[in-house]
Amino acid sequence: MAEDDFVLVEGLNINFAIPGGTLHAVRDASFGIAKGETLCIVGESGSGKSMTALGLMGLLPSNAQRSARRLRVGGHDLMAMSRQQLSDLRGSEMAMIFQEPMTSLNPCYTVGNQMAETLVRHRGVPWRSALITARDWLERVGIPPSAGRLDQYPHQLSGGLRQRVMIAMMLMCEPKLIIADEPTTALDVTIQAQVLHLLARLQREMGITMIFITHDLGVVSRIADRIAVMYAGQIVETGTTREVLTDAQHPYTRGLLDCVPVPGKTQRGAALGTIPGTVPSLIGRLDGCGFAGRCRHAAPACLTGLTALAERDNGRQVRCLFAPATLWGRA
Amino acid sequence: MTIEYHNKARPPVLELRDVSRSFQVKAGVFAPKRTLQAVRGVTLDIRRGDVLALVGESGCGKTTLARLLMGVLEPSQGEILFNGQPISGRPVMERSRHLQAVFQDPYSSLNPRKTIGNIVSLPLRVHRQGDAATIRRRTVEMMDMVGLPPRFFDSYPNQLSGGQRQRVAIARALILKPEIVICDEPTSALDVSVQSQILNLLMELRRELNLTYVLISHNLAVIEHMATQVAVMYLGRIVEAGDGGQIFAAPRHPYTQALLASVMTPGSGLGIPQIDLGVTFPNALDPPSGCAFHPRCSHALARCSQLAPPVIDDAKGRVECHLPMVTDVVNSPA
């Protein structure tokens, strides 16, 4: 994390008041992203990765309580902005793309209508020229203009095409930050590769900073510059893609990497690695390391207090009392 | 612990002979109904102990084929043989003793109002196998086998995690000691760390109970890990089938090559694979002429759009293509 980072999140907490107490969805999340970089947030369901993104965008459900020491995108201090200012910022400066393109497009309006509206809303251009820009953008995302897609409704498009429309719509206002929340999970593998290519190419061309949320370590390894691993609402490890994938320090990251079969490395048919136990409840007072209950290296010290995210040289962070030397020397 | 690949000597337990299935679908409110060929002339042998993986994009007919195997659907054409006997028209009770299924979503495949013991033991009660005490004993044994402690016997599905629920679904499928289990995306609703537990369990049970699996999954890394046999489907046809190791090492159909190239396995510095396929999956109501894959194929020749491709069946497997070839696997492991 550096002062001149494009995105700067410091001490982000997101809580929900629920009948049984307080649900700590995100705890003390801090990360920075340099301009033009891709940060992948990896974690399993319920780890808080989507909430972190929604918290940054200011799109949390109304019963959520958000607090942070600092929340900055570009030059904007998101904590100090009003709802209206945030709403202006979303879609123009920062944009989000979701997992299921069917539910994020309005089925009652044509593709062209929805795309043009973004420009009319944020850039105040006339409807007619917005439609022309929309057509150009469809071409940029690989949808031929001849096909008359602008006049089609979302249900007339395949999943891959819808996600391309979403990407075009998101990029039309030329945002500086995009947050992609599992954008390819609902797509077939061949389409997934195409959509990722497209996203990566446009990101490079336009110098966009990206937060990419996924649980697919394969995708992460192909697109990320840096990785943040989340577990039980906390970031447990960050580092460059190479560092995290080849030299994972946190026992959870190691466990996660062992769980997926890697053709050529994992012996076919051999038993895969597992992480025993289940994710702890995030309700009420949380003490100790969130992973202690499932960690085979856990010691009594892991069960009390708050394990800090220790920063090493070059921005590598690990939230573990023992990582790494003592731990992997023993393993 | 590895999979045995040389299984040609064993007789097929399930044979599909030129099986087709079509549906009548409405094309519009006033439009006449049209015929959709979901499965077109599939011929396939499944041998005892195989893990046969069905691979293909959504809409290619994988699930229809699985439903034909389960007997939920009857083929419009062709024959399915079980141990050499045709199974079309056989009573469901008889089929269900030999063939069971595990579905994708353990949140919707278990009745929320029944206890786990009740869910797992239902097949025994339907088939009237033993008295109450025997059924209870066998249920607890089965639960133990899939790693569910007996204390879950009186629990309800909502008290269990996703992985535990999928164990319940597996226990329910195996309690009648079937020979074949059809697993339709058994782990895609689960988290990575739970997925590996379920895959390990499936492999263990296969060894212990000598099971045959038909595995449907879109996760090709999982398929490469699990499958002894692979059948690649495209628009209702099996375009390539053969030994898993063979297909993953040297795919011959351009579609199989594109599929394998698009697998993203973790490894740093590999980049996003470049897939040479058109964007659109063809309309199944109006399949392309000749080879159904030709509009998306980068190697297509003039004859590909006119003539159905020949079937090449040799020692390396079975492939339907005018130009089958062996190229380097783009996504070779680092």
Per residue in B78-122, pLDDT (tens digit) is 999 998 888 887 888 888 899 999 988 888 899 999 999 999 999
The full 3-state SS of chain A, as one line of letters, equals CCCCCCEEEEEEEEEEEECCEEEEEEEEEEEEECCCCEEEEECCCCCCHHHHHHHHHCCCCCCEEEECCEEEECCEEHHHCCHHHHHHHECCCEEEECCCHHHHCCCCCCHHHHHHHHHHHHHCCCHHHHHHHHHHHHHHCCCCHHHCHHHCCHHHCCHHHHHHHHHHHHHCCCCCEEEEECCCCCCCHHHHHHHHHHHHHHHHHHCCEEEEEECCHHHHHHHCCEEEEEECCEEEEEEEHHHHHHCCCCHHHHHHHHHCCCCCCCCCCCCCCCCCCCCCCCECCCCCCCCHHHCCCCCHHHHCCCCCCEECHHHCEECCCCCCHHHHHHC
- Residue contact A245–B267, C-beta within 8 A: yes
Chain B touched by A321 (CB under 8 Å): no
pLDDT score of B115: 95
Q: In Å, how far is B27's CA from the nearest CA of chain A?
A: 13
Please count the CA atoms within 13 angstroms of the CA of A291 that sit on its side-chain side: 29
Q: Domain with B105 in it: what CATH number?
A: 3.40.50.300
Chain A residues with CB-CB distance to B261 below 8 A: 193
| Most distant pair of Cα atoms in chain A: their distance | 67
- Residue contact A219–B268, C-beta within 8 A: no
Residue B57, in any domain of the structure: yes
Q: In Å, how far is B248's CA from the nearest CA of chain A?
A: 9
Taking the C-alpha atoms of residue B279 and residue A142, their distance in angstroms, rounded to an integer, is 9
Taking the C-alpha atoms of residue A309 and residue A322, their distance in angstroms, rounded to an integer, is 12
Q: What is the count of structural domains for chain B?
A: 1
CA distances (Å), A43 to each of A49, A266, A275, B214, in order? Answer: 7, 22, 13, 30
Chain A touched by B27 (CB under 8 Å): no
Chain A touched by B269 (CB under 8 Å): yes
Report whether A2 contacts A10 (CB < 8 A). no
pLDDT score of A178: 94
For residue B147, give its domain range: 12-320
Structure confidence by residue, pLDDT tens digits, B198-245 = 999 999 999 999 999 999 988 888 999 999 999 999 999 999 999 998
- What pTM was estimated for this model as a whole? 0.86
Strand partners, A213: A41, A181
Residue B208, in any domain of the structure: yes
Chain B touched by A255 (CB under 8 Å): yes
Q: Which of A45, A193, A257 sits opposite B191 (nearest CB)?
A: A45
Chain A residues with CB-CB distance to B191 below 8 A: 44-45, 215
SS3 B130: coil
Report whether A21 contacts A192 (CB < 8 A). no
Strand partners, A212: A40, A180
Chains A, B: CB contacts within 8 A come to 150
Show the beta-strand stretches assigned E in chain B: 12-26, 33-47, 51-55, 77-82, 85-86, 99-102, 180-184, 212-216, 229-234, 237-243, 311-314, 317-320
pLDDT score of B11: 82
Chain B residues with CB-CB distance to A44 below 8 A: 191-193
Task: Determine whether B119 is exposed, middle or buried from the number of CB atoms within 10 Å of its CB (0-12, 13-18, 19+).
Answer: buried
Give me A33's structure tokens.
């992203």
pLDDT score of A328: 60
Residue B4, in any domain of the structure: no
- Residue contact A272–B225, C-beta within 8 A: yes
Chain A touched by B191 (CB under 8 Å): yes
Q: Which of B57, B203, B272 sits opposite A269 (nearest CB)?
A: B203
Residue A15: CB atoms within 10 A of its CB come to: 19
Residue B313, in any domain of the structure: yes
Q: In Å, how far is B93's CA from the nearest CA of chain A?
A: 33
Give me A242's structure tokens.
């190479």
Q: Which of B220, B268, B274 sits opposite A197 (nearest CB)?
A: B274
What residues in chain A have per-residue pLDDT under 50?
330-331
Residue B332, in any domain of the structure: no
Residue bearing tokens 């597992």 = A274
pLDDT score of A23: 92
Residue B105, in any domain of the structure: yes
How far from the centroid of its chain's Cα atoms is residue A101's Cα? 16
Chain A residues with CB-CB distance to B269 below 8 A: 242
Residue B331, in any domain of the structure: no
Taking Cα atoms as reference points, which of B23, B85, B65 lies closest to residue B237? Answer: B65
Q: In Å, how far is B157's CA from the nearest CA of chain A?
A: 16
Q: In Å, how far is B120's CA from the nearest CA of chain A?
A: 23
What residues in chain B have per-residue pLDDT under 50?
1-7, 328-334
The domains located in chain A, with CATH, are 7-93+177-330 (3.40.50.300), 103-174 (no CATH)
pLDDT score of B78: 93
CB within 8 Å of chain A, chain B residues 92-151: none
Residue B327, in any domain of the structure: no
Query: What is the ipTM metric for this complex?
Result: 0.82
